C-alpha cells in the first residue's frame, strides 16, 4: 500500500482574545459562598471574598469579648503607598470632570479613574510597580466610585443592615446567617463622618445640611438610607443606617422554602389578589413586610395596571404594566411632593391596583377612601395587631374613624421569631375584618395562624373573605375551595422542585391565569385526570 504523504497539521482560525481592560481587574460580584448555620458560635471561623482579588471578610468568635466579629480585610499599604494615594486623591479632586463620569457604566468609570491616576502619577514623577499600583487603584475605586469604607459591606450578599451609631464606636452589621455583629470599622473624625453622610445624600439624590439634618433616601442599588447630619441631633455625631435589599425580590416559593408562610397561605392570597381584595401587611421594623408585599405582587393578574407610591423606593414588582412613584423632599421649603399628593394623583392614572409602601400619615385618609370607592389596594403599616392598626388610625397624625378599617379585607401580621435559637421571620396570623364599630371594637376571623412552639401553620376553611368573593362574583363556595386546594398543591409542587427563579415563578403564575390546564399538565397532571 503506497505511503500517504505527510500532511501539515490542520490550522484552525485563531480566536481573538477578549480585550484586556486598561485598568487593574476588580471583580465586584464574586461567587456567593455556601455558608451554613453553626449552632455553636464559638466554632465559627469563616472567610470569603467580597471584592476580588482585594477584599475579604473574616467572621470568627472573639474569646476576649465573647462575641462574633466581622472584620474587613483590605490591602495593606506601606508608608510610601499611603502618601502616594493621598496625593493622587488630592489631585483627582481638583481635576476630575464630573460631566465625563455621569451616566457611565462600571467599566467606563474604572477606565476613567485609571487614566486620571496615571496622569497625576506622571505629573508627580512617581513610578510604581504593578502590585503597588493595583493596591492603590482599589482604594481609588472604593473612594471615588464606591461608598468609601462601607463599600465592602455593600458588596456582601449576606448583609441586611449596616448601622453606624456615631464616631468612636464600631459600625455594626446584621448578617443573614450569623445576625448582629460588631465590625472593625470605626469612624474617629466627626467631620469625616459628616462628609460621608453628605456623600450618601448625593448618591440618594437628596440634600442634607445643618438646616435639614435628617436624611431618608434610596441608593442607586435600591438600598434604603436613614442618616443624621449634626451632633445636635445625635450626640455621638452623624449616624447612618443602610437597609440592603436583594436586587431580585424573594419569590413566593422562596418564602415557602424559608418557612416564612405555608403554601395554603399563599394560595389564599393568590385568590384574594385575583378578586381584588384590600390587604394590609403589618409588623415591626425588619419583620419582612416589604418582602411579603413584593411576594404578593406576583399574584396580581398580568394584564392589570399597578401604581405604587412610596417615600423611599423599596418595592420591586415583576411586571411591565407598573407605574412606580416616589415622594420628593423639597429644598428650603420648595419643590416637595409628598405621598399624600402622589396618592391623590395615582387615582387619575386608571390603576387596577394601588400599592402604598407604608402608611404613616395623612395619606392613610386617601388610601382608605380609595378602598371604599372600589380601588383595590395593598399597603404596609407598623403595627402588630388589628387593635394596634385601629389605634394608629385614631391617633395623630392620621386621625381617622376606626370604621374605615371595614374597607380592609385582610390584615397579614408579620413577626420576628426565634426558632431553634435562630432569628427568622414568620407570617404570624392572617386576620379577616368582619366589622369594626365606631368605638373601635373589631369583629374578626383568623383563617391562618402560626404556632411558635411547633413552628407550624394551621388553617381553617371557614373564610369570611371567601364568602364575600362568592357573593360579589357569583362563584359557588365548593368551586372556590377546590381552586384554593389546586393552587396550594401547585405552589407546594414548585417548592418541592425548587422552582425559585424570579422570572420562572412569575411566568408560571401568569400562564396559570391565561391557561391553567397547560400549567397543571406540566406540574399536576393527576389533577387533569380528576377533572
Contact by Cβ (8 Å): 181, 67: yes
- pLDDT average, residue stretch 284-297: 90
The CB-side HSE value for 384 (13 A sphere, CA atoms) comes to: 7
Q: Which residues neighbour 396 within 8 Å (Cβ) at sequence distance 6 or greater?
A: none
Q: Which CATH number fits domain 252-327+336-530: 3.40.50.300, 3.50.50.60, 3.40.47.10, 1.10.10.10?
A: 3.40.50.300
Task: Answer whether residue 1 shows pLDDT above 50.
Answer: no
Q: Is 164 helix (H, G, I), strand (E, B) or coil?
A: strand
Which residue intervals of the chain bear CATH 3.40.50.300?
252-327+336-530
The CB-side HSE value for 268 (13 A sphere, CA atoms) comes to: 27
Q: Identify the CATH number of the domain defined by range 20-146.
A: 3.30.450.380
Find which of 331-335, 341-345, 526-530 is predicted with most confidence, using mean pLDDT.
341-345
Please write the tens of the pLDDT for every residue from 101-152. Answer: 555 677 888 888 899 899 999 988 888 899 999 999 999 999 999 999 999 9
- pLDDT average, residue stretch 161-177: 95
Domain spanning 158-244, CATH class = alpha beta
- pLDDT average, residue stretch 62-70: 95
Q: Which residues neighbour 508 within 8 Å (Cβ) at sequence distance 6 or greater?
A: 494, 499, 519, 523
Residue 372 grid cell: 371604599
This prediction's pTM: 0.76
Task: Answer whether residue 240 shows pLDDT above 80.
Answer: yes
Q: Quick one: pLDDT at residue 529?
A: 64
- pLDDT average, residue stretch 63-77: 96
pLDDT band at 515 (very low <50, low <70, confident <90, very high): very high
| β-bridge pairing 422-436 and 442-451 | antiparallel
Q: Quick one: pLDDT at residue 152?
A: 96
Please write the tens of the pLDDT for every residue from 401-412. Answer: 888 889 999 999
Which residue intervals of the chain bear CATH 3.30.450.370?
158-244
Contact by Cβ (8 Å): 483, 474: no
Q: Quick one: pLDDT at residue 101?
A: 57
Q: Quick one: pLDDT at residue 421?
A: 72
Q: Map grid coordinates 411558635 to a residue.
A: 452
Burial class (CB in 10 A: 0-12, 13-18, 19+), 430: buried
Which residue intervals of the chain bear CATH 3.30.450.380?
20-146
For 508-512, the CB contacts below 8 A with 24+ separation are 509/270, 509/298, 509/299, 510/302, 512/487
Closest of 190, 196, 209, 267 to residue 512, by C-alpha? 267
Please write the tens of the pLDDT for every residue from 173-230. Answer: 999 889 899 999 999 999 999 999 999 999 988 889 998 899 988 888 888 899 999 8
Q: Map grid coordinates 436583594 to a residue.
A: 246
Amino acid at each position: 500500500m503506497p505511503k500517504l504523504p505527510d500532511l501539515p497539521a490542520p490550522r484552525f482560525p485563531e480566536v481573538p482574545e477578549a480585550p484586556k481592560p486598561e485598568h487593574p481587574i476588580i471583580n465586584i460580584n464574586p461567587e456567593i459562598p455556601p455558608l451554613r448555620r453553626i449552632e455553636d458560635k464559638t466554632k465559627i471561623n469563616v472567610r470569603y471574598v467580597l471584592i476580588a482579588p482585594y477584599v475579604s471578610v473574616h467572621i470568627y468568635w472573639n474569646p476576649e469579648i465573647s462575641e462574633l466579629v466581622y472584620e474587613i480585610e483590605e490591602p495593606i499599604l506601606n508608608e510610601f503607598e499611603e502618601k502616594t494615594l493621598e496625593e493622587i486623591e488630592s489631585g483627582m479632586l481638583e481635576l476630575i470632570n464630573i460631566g465625563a463620569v455621569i451616566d457611565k457604566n462600571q467599566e467606563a468609570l474604572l477606565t476613567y479613574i485609571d487614566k486620571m491616576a496615571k496622569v497625576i502619577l506622571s505629573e508627580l514623577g512617581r513610578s510604581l510597580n504593578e502590585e503597588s499600583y493595583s493596591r492603590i487603584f482599589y482604594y481609588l475605586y472604593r473612594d471615588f466610585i464606591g461608598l468609601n469604607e462601607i463599600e465592602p459591606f455593600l458588596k456582601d450578599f449576606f448583609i441586611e443592615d449596616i448601622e453606624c451609631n456615631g464616631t468612636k464606636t464600631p459600625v455594626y452589621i446584621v448578617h443573614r446567617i450569623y445576625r448582629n455583629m460588631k465590625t472593625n470599622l470605626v469612624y474617629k473624625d466627626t467631620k469625616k463622618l459628616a462628609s460621608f453622610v453628605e456623600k450618601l445624600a448625593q448618591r440618594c439624590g437628596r440634600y442634607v445640611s445643618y438646616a435639614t439634618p435628617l436624611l431618608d433616601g434610596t441608593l442607586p442599588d435600591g438600598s434604603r438610607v436613614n442618616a443624621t447630619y449634626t451632633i445636635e441631633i445625635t450626640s455621638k455625631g452623624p449616624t447612618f443606617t443602610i437597609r440592603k435589599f436583594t436586587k431580585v425580590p424573594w419569590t413566593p416559593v422562596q418564602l415557602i422554602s424559608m418557612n416564612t408562610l405555608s403554601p395554603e397561605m399563599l394560595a389564599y392570597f393568590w385568590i384574594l389578589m385575583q378578586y381584588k381584595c384590600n390587604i394590609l401587611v403589618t409588623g415591626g421594623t425588619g419583620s419582612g413586610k416589604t418582602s411579603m408585599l413584593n411576594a404578593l405582587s406576583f399574584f396580581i393578574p398580568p394584564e392589570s395596571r399597578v401604581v405604587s407610591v412610596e417615600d423611599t423606593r423599596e418595592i420591586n414588582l415583576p411586571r411591565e404594566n407598573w407605574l412606580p412613584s416616589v415622594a420628593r423632599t423639597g429644598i428650603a421649603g420648595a419643590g416637595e411632593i409628598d405621598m399624600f399628593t402622589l396618592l391623590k394623583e395615582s387615582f387619575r392614572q386608571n390603576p387596577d391596583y394601588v400599592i402604598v409602601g407604608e402608611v404613616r400619615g395623612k395619606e392613610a385618609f386617601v388610601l382608605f377612601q380609595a378602598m371604599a370607592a372600589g380601588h383595590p389596594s395593598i399597603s404596609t403599616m407598623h403595627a402588630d395587631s388589628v387593635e394596634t392598626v385601629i389605634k394608629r388610625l385614631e391617633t395623630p397624625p392620621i386621625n381617622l374613624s376606626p370604621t374605615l378599617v371595614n374597607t380592609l379585607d385582610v390584615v397579614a401580621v408579620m413577626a420576628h421569631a426565634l426558632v431553634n435559637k435562630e432569628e427568622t421571620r414568620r407570617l404570624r396570623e392572617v386576620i379577616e375584618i368582619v366589622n369594626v364599630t365606631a368605638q373601635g371594637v373589631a369583629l374578626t376571623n383568623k383563617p391562618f395562624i402560626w404556632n411558635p412552639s411547633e413552628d407550624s401553620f394551621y388553617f381553617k376553611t371557614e373564610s369570611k373573605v371567601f364568602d364575600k368573593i362568592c357573593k360579589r362574583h357569583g362563584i359557588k363556595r365548593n368551586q372556590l375551595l377546590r381552586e384554593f386546594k389546586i393552587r396550594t398543591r401547585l405552589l407546594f409542587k414548585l417548592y418541592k422542585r425548587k422552582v425559585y427563579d424570579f422570572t420562572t415563578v412569575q411566568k408560571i403564575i401568569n400562564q396559570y391565569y391565561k391557561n391553567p390546564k397547560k400549567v397543571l399538565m406540566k406540574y399536576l397532571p393527576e389533577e387533569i385526570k380528576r377533572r
